[in-house]
Amino acid sequence: MFKRFPWFSCILSLLLSTALYQPVNAIELDEATLTVPLNTSGKTTILTPEQVKRGKRLFNNTCSQCHNGGITKTNPNVGLDPEGLSLATPPRDNIEGLIDYMKNPTSYDGAESIAELHPSIKSAEIFPKMRNLTDDDLFTIAGHILIQPKVVLEKWGGGKIYY
């Protein structure tokens, strides 16, 4: 059959190779996955696929040295998982809360500024990677952080068990 229809083997090879190289944890980025909390009042926003892609790139370039996989290397008790973000003061489990944190970070209980210890817009002179980030950049980074639990599930912020 392959000798009679040589194009058939090419198509079959293409279909098999495409199926074999799909990421195991890949899920379709549907509207539910792309919908994230905007603020503490319950308002949500839907990220575009472009924002997701850009947020991942910016997160990897700016944040992943200390937060690879949603963990916090300097303090394993505080991660970027939904529970950890929601229990912070103020809550950081929404876009506005994360942007506020990236501009002016505070301790987990919100009592004191940690801008000299944690990269932020406020401390961009100490942390050069923060210098050129715009509000749109911070929005997409926050979006990336918030959709990861939907994409990689319990691995996000799972610590040494997964990373």
Query: Token match 């939904």: residue?
Result: 82
Count of C-beta atoms within a 10 Å radius of residue 26: 8
Strand partners, 106: 113
The answer on whether 144 is annotated among ligand-binding residues is: no
CA within 13 Å, CB half, 141: 26
Q: Which of 99, 101, 105 is nearest to 135 (CA)?
A: 99
The answer on whether 10 is annotated among ligand-binding residues is: no
Query: Binding site: what residues are annotated?
Result: 63, 66-67, 118
Query: Binding site for heme c: what residues are annotated?
Result: 63, 66-67, 118
